Structure formats: structure tokens, C-alpha cells
Amino acid sequence: MTGTLPTSVTQELGPDALLQAYRTMRTIRDFEERVHEEFAGGDIPGFVHLYAGEEASATGVCTHLDDRDAIASTHRGHGHCIAKGVDVKAMMAEIYGKSTGSCRGKGGSMHIADLSKGMLGANGIVGGGPPLICGRALAAKQLGSGGVAVAFFGDGASNQGTTLESLNLASIWNLPAIFVAENNGYAEATSSSWSVATDDIADRAAAFGMPGVIVDGFDFFAVYEAAGEAIARARDGGGPTLIEVKFTRYFGHFEGDQQLYRADEVAQAREKLDCLKRFRGRVTETGQLTGDQLDAIDVEVAKLIDESVVEAKAAPKPGPDDLLTDVYVSY
């Protein structure tokens, strides 16, 4: 059932929804570009893995989701958080380890979460999310909420037992789950063309009795289309789908990665494939939006990111008393 969807299908997205999709992708891009700069400046502690270049995936999927729905993310999770509606200023503060952060400074980049938004967390464990998403999908099914659950994971996690077990479980339990394999070509520094035994990750769907599709991850509309079909099927009781989204990440595995393992693919992608450029070209060509409307969003987002950084830097760190709280509900 593996196949590539056409990208030319006219979407039903109106101007407001298109503007929101662009705003989300632009916010992710600017957030990540800014974190890249700030990290280089030495102000951000720990490990940071950036999502720039992959914006169309989180946005194309999450545009279909609402408060009933949950997602699980990865160590490269900022984009999923933003697309699911996590507060950008709280995210930036979390990355700086501040008490105003999404997780009050106790999680950091790899653990940003907002359960109230159905965002189950970035995850420091490769393949940590898919089993949890089976559970969220089961809860939605048992409680009759109409919700779906989406596991985002990378090409690295596609080789984890947790992921493969979850594909099987979701299929036999007929869960409203969607598995989005974000194949950016490298698990850390190791190429997915070497580490994945099948030609495509989507090929594995057949082994678990579910549809598998491959999508151009630089094309918001292609992701939106594929995700829409999978999510509608899941909401209708039609079970899980595996979607493989292919693209290139614009930064290294983590900040500080010298990226000696790859050539000029990033420059090529930024120049010729970039999701923001393609989105702009598409919606202005069709006349659905004007360049001015998009420029206005660029200005609005730049201001938001600036404010996020200023406020994050000024915010207080957690105090010593916070060390011992939040381990248990009661103990």
C-alpha cells in the first residue's frame, strides 16, 4: 500500500488556516535559528537538537489536530511543541532553564511538554514515544473522545523495538494512532540509507497490516494531505497509518555537531526545497494569500521570538526548594 501522494491536490484550507500554518512554520524556523545563535553564544545549557528544515511535517500534521488529540515527540521536539500550541515564550524560558519555563526549568529542551495541550513531551529516549501514543490512542478509543494520537519519531527510532512493537500493537488493537517517521537522512551521524534495511521506512507498514505512505517533507501541502487522510481514517475507526516524511535537517544532530558526515545538501535544500519558500510560492501563485500578508507574519513572529529571548534571559532560575518538589503527586 506504499505510495507517494500527489502534491497538487487543491486543499480546502481557507486564508485564515493558511496564514496560521505559515505562522506556525515561520515561528518554528525563527525559534530554531535564534536558539542556534543563542547556543553559540554560550547562554543555553545542555543539549539542543534543532528542527529547522522540518517545519512542514509538524505543521502539516498538527493542523488537523485539536484538543482531543495527543502527540508524542522526540529529542528534536521544538517544532512539534509549537505546532501543537505550546506557548513559545514558556518554551524559550524552559530552554534557558528558567522557572517560567513550560516545565519550570526541570525538563529543558529534550523534555518540553504541555499536557494541557496534548503535547506529551519531547523525549530524550529514541523510540520512547510510540508506546505512549498507543496508550493515548487507547484512552481516546475507550473514552469515546473521538481523539487520535500521533507519534513523531525519526529514522533512528524506526529501528527501535519500541517503535516496531507499537506499530504491531496499534494494528491489532485497531487504534486511532498515526505514526509519523521523520526521515531526515541521519540518525545522529549515521545515514538512514545504511541503517534502515528496507528501501523506505514506509515499507515496514505492510508488515504490520497498515497503510504506509511516503511524503515530500518539504511540502506542507503534501504532508497536510497525507496526514488528513490518515487522521480521518483513524477518527473513523479505520486504524493506524505509517507516514514517512522525507527531508533534510538544516542543522547538525545537536548544536556543536561539525557535520563532517554530510556534504552540501543543506545549502541545496535551503536554496531549492525549503518549505517556507515553497509555501509562499504556492499560496501567492494561486492568489490565496499575498506576499504582504506573509511579510506581516514574518514581522510578527520576529517580534515574538525577540521578546521570548529577552524575557527568558531576564526570568529567574528555579530556587533550591524546587529541587525536591514534583517527584510525586503524594508521597
Partner 1 sequence: MARSITYREAINEAIAQEMERDERVIVMGEDNVGGTGSPGEMDAWGGVLGVTKGLYGRFPDRVMDTPISESAFIGAAIGAATGGLRPVAELMFVDFMGVCFDQIYNQAAKFRYMFGGKAVTPVVIRTMWGAGLRAAAQHSQSLLSVFTHIPGLKVVVPSNPYDAKGLLIQSIRDDDPVIFAEHKMLYDTAGDVPAESYAIPFGEANVVREGDDVTIVAIGRMVATAQEAAEQLAGSGIQAEIIDPRTVSPLDTDTILESVENTGRLVVVDEANPRCSLATDISATVAQDAFGSLRAPIQMVTAPHTPVPFADSLEDVFIPDAQKVANAVKTAVEWKK
Give residues in contact with partner 1 (CB under 8 A).
70, 72, 101-107, 111, 113-116, 120-121, 123-125, 128, 130-136, 138-140, 142-143, 145, 149, 161-162, 165-166, 168-169, 172-173, 325-331
The kind and range of the H/E element at 213 are strand 212-216
Count of beta carbons in the 10 Å neighbourhood of residue 235: 16
Task: Rank residues 8 and 116 by Cβ distance to partner 1 and give the closer one.
Answer: 116
Task: Rank residues 115 and 299 by Cβ distance to partner 1 and give the closer one.
Answer: 115
Task: Rank residues 109 and 248 by Cβ distance to partner 1 and give the closer one.
Answer: 109
CA 170 to chain centre: 20
Residues 6+ apart with CB under 8 A from 212: 1, 2, 200, 202, 203, 204, 205, 206, 241, 242, 243, 244
The least distance separating partner 1 from the CB of residue 198, rounded to whole angstroms, comes to 20
Task: Rank residues 129 and 185 by Cβ distance to partner 1 and give the closer one.
Answer: 129
Comparing CA positions, the residue from 301, 303, 308, 304 lying closest to residue 101 is 308
Task: Rank residues 164 and 302 by Cβ distance to partner 1 and give the closer one.
Answer: 164
The least distance separating partner 1 from the CB of residue 90, rounded to whole angstroms, comes to 10
CA distance 36 to 272: 22
The kind and range of the H/E element at 235 are helix 220-235
Q: Determine contact, residues 183/154, Cβ cutoff 8 Å.
A: yes
Name residue, grid cell 480521518: 232
The least distance separating partner 1 from the CB of residue 296, rounded to whole angstroms, comes to 34
The least distance separating partner 1 from the CB of residue 189, rounded to whole angstroms, comes to 23
197 residue type, one letter: A
Task: Rank residues 194 and 328 by Cβ distance to partner 1 and give the closer one.
Answer: 328
The least distance separating partner 1 from the CB of residue 49, rounded to whole angstroms, comes to 16
The least distance separating partner 1 from the CB of residue 76, rounded to whole angstroms, comes to 17
